[in-house]
Amino acid sequence: MKLLSGIILLSIQLIFLNPAYSADIKEKNSFLLDIRNKDNSIYLNRFSVSKNIAGYDIKTSLFTELQWHFGTSKWEKITSGAETEKHFLKYIYCGESIHFISGQILDYMTFDPGNMSMEATTKLGFIFPLSKKLSFRIWNEYSYNLEKGSAGLNEVLIEIPYHVNNNLDLGIGWRHTDRIHAFDSDYATISLTLHF
């Protein structure tokens, strides 16, 4: 038990106190109001631990994302995995994630609700600074189910985040979700991001 406590304390020091090993810990809470059907509105929570690889402008992250569906009072989608993101030419970025996915109402996906599956998501986006605290982001996310060999979602997202301080960002935006095998949704979004 003492050995385990010592390892945990050493890990905390390496991660949080030494800048060479420090990580960016972030929690983003979003409310997605479905413009087409208010019963399909969603609460989205994403918790991530990220590390920048110096000299390469690459960010690696471990993340968990939860989607609560207000119309059914069920977890629509739960994902957990790893992501890598690379910036090019200052304003362009792309990313790739591999993650496990499950949920209670994923009947529009290529696997049965309640089961776990594996998915890959490719992200391509642009970010334009509007001022020191305000920026404009637009990106596309394409998700592919690795087990079934079939596309699941294609989403286009727009966000205007406002950097309040080093610990808090607020954002508004729009999100179009194309459930490739079922219905589409358009959401007005509001987000609050905490940086630890």
pLDDT bucket at 132, cuts 50 / 70 / 90: very high
Is 139 inside a domain boundary?
A: yes
Is 29 inside a domain boundary?
A: yes
pLDDT of residue 1: 47
Strand partners, 187: 34, 175
pLDDT bucket at 116, cuts 50 / 70 / 90: confident
pLDDT of residue 41: 92
State the CATH number of the domain containing residue 99. Answer: 2.40.128
Is 51 inside a domain boundary?
A: yes
What mean pLDDT do residues 59-75 have?
89
pLDDT of residue 73: 84
- pLDDT of 112 over the 60 cut: no
Which of residues 184 and 175 earns the better pLDDT score?
A: 175
pLDDT bucket at 122, cuts 50 / 70 / 90: very high
| Phi-psi map region of 14: left, alpha, beta (phi>0 left; psi -120 to 50 alpha) | alpha
- Sign of the CA dihedral 157, 162, 164, 166? positive
pTM confidence score? 0.82
pLDDT of residue 142: 95
Residue 121: count of CB within 10 angstroms of its CB: 20
Is 155 inside a domain boundary?
A: yes
Is 5 inside a domain boundary?
A: no
pLDDT of residue 106: 58
d(CA 148, CA 99): 14
Is 28 inside a domain boundary?
A: yes
Strand partners, 137: 127, 159
Q: Domain of 126?
A: 23-195
d(CA 186, CA 38): 10
Is 13 inside a domain boundary?
A: no
> How does pLDDT run across 145-176, given as a tens digit for each residue?
888 888 888 999 999 999 999 999 999 999 99
What mean pLDDT do residues 124-143 have?
96
What mean pLDDT do residues 123-134 have?
96
Average pLDDT across the chain, whole number: 85
3-class secondary-structure state, position 37: coil
> How does pLDDT run across 8-64, given as a tens digit for each residue?
444 544 444 445 557 889 999 999 999 988 778 999 999 999 998 877 889 999 999
Is 17 inside a domain boundary?
A: no
Total domains in the fold of the chain:
1
